[in-house]
Amino acid sequence: MDSKKILVIGAAGQIGSELTLKLREFFGKDNVIASDIKDGSEELMFSGPFEIADATDKDLIEEIITKHQITDVYLMAAMLSATAEKIPMKAWHLNMESLFIILNLAKDQKVNRVFWPSSIAVFGPTTPKEDTPQTTVMEPSTVYGISKQTGERWCEYYFNKYGVDVRSLRYPGIISYKTLPGGGTTDYAIEIFHEAIKNKKYSSFLSEKTGLPMMFMDDAIKATVDIMEAPSENIKVRSSYNLAAMTFTPEELANQIKTQIPEFEISYEPDFRQSIADSWPSSIDDSEARKDWGWEHEYDLSKLTSTMIEGLKN
């Protein structure tokens, strides 16, 4: 009998909400407990157990884990790059404290397996920009990037030192139409679709030639579940795996949208997020994830664009 019991922390967020629903489909609604500091959508809150909890409240998180006899934790709560630049200490506290709580509970064998997302933000201006390798120079220049890189070091340390089964992915920008993201640098690639459909125009906060690694939500969720379900011996990287699907610039995305909404117009007004984007790679070499646990993406720019437009129109 599969006695898996999953806790998703940050379940009301952009990735957490879709991940929770998918996990409930796979493992049964009563086996996936959603938790967040705030309410989620009705679908999320009424399709299975939901607990209101601050990810940095150690006692409450431990209580929820014990109460539901949790085996696997997906720790999706985090403050993203753009917001973190405005409130650095708060971002550091949330991103690091929530991770230590879960790593220590796993070290004390209160949970068996942990997923913790890292990001392309772990790379910095001195990292090779094209086809960024798995192992390379990493000097992140944002608070968010520093927290993710530090988190990666701790994940690997807890695996080596205490045998904690922690698994991680360096997410690129994740694009979806169901739940809005908040506070990221790659969020323009979601806003643009909402504005294209509503107003037929969009002013981008990144310049036209800013190429960034991106991925459609379904691929991100597939990667997340796949790495968590892979046999332990296949997971050779215990810091975090590079993960990629596509790269495009705002100009390329706008041109693709125009194939379906010909009246669409884009303009460019780069703001403080431009320098964050400029410090990140434009494309990622994810061959280790493909080799070790069989990662494959499905969505390219054209499929992503038609799915987003159709999804938002419905």
Residues engaged in binding ligand AKB (CB under 6 A): 80-81, 119-121, 144, 171, 173, 184-186
Pick 93 or 258: Cβ nearer ligand AKB: 93
Tokens of 36: 């967040």
CB of 156 to ligand AKB, least distance (A): 19
Distance CA(259)–CA(295), nearest Å, equals 30
Element containing residue 119 per DSSP (H, E): strand 118-119
CB of 267 to ligand AKB, least distance (A): 21
Catalytic residue among 74, 144, 177, 188: 144
Pick 5 or 170: Cβ nearer ligand AKB: 170
Residue nearest to ligand AKB (CB): 184
Per the DSSP assignment, residues forming a β-bridge with 247 are 213
* Residue 144 appears among annotated catalytic residues: yes
87 contacts 108 by C-beta, under 8 angstroms: no
Nearest in space to 243 (alpha carbons), one of 256, 227, 229: 227
CB of 244 to ligand AKB, least distance (A): 12
Pick 31 or 224: Cβ nearer ligand AKB: 224
Bridge-based pairing of strands 173-175 and 241-242 is: unpaired
- Plot region of 171 (φ>0 → left; ψ -120 to 50 → alpha; else → beta): beta
CB of 186 to ligand AKB, least distance (A): 4
Pick 36 or 85: Cβ nearer ligand AKB: 85
Task: Annotate 229-249 with three-state secondary structure.
Answer: HCCHHHCCCCCCEECCCEEEC
DSSP per residue, 121-134:
GG--TTS-SSSB-S
Q: Which residues are catalytic?
A: 144
